[in-house]
Amino acid sequence: LCSEVEEILEKEDNILLLNGDFIIVGDIHGSFHDLLRILKFIQENQSKVLFLGDYVDRGSFSLECITILFAMKAMYPESVYLIRGNHEFDSLCSQYGFKDEIINYHNPKKQACIFKNPQNQGLSQAKSEDMQIYIDNYDANYNDINCYNYTENLYTAFIRSFSYLPIAVIINNTTFCIHGGLSQKLDQVDNLYKIKRPIDTFEDNKLLSDVIWSDPSLAPNCMYVPNPRGRGNLFNKQAVANFLKNNSLKRMIRAHECV
Q: Which residues are catalytic?
A: 87
Cis omega (within 30 of 0) for bond into 198: yes
Q: Secondary structure of the chain: what % helix, strand, coil (to 5)? A: 45, 15, 45
**Listed residue (243, 251, 226, 238) closest to 182, CA to CA:** 243
150-to-80, 106, 128 alpha-carbon distances in Å: 27, 10, 31
Q: What distances in angstroms separate CA 144 from CA 100, 111, 139, 188, 202, one per listed residue? A: 21, 15, 9, 56, 40
Residue 229: DSSP 8-state: T
Which of 54, 55, 63 lies closest to 100, judged by CA?
Answer: 63
Phi-psi region of 226 (alpha: psi -120 to 50; beta: other; left: phi over 0): beta
84 closest CA partner among 6, 2, 168: 168
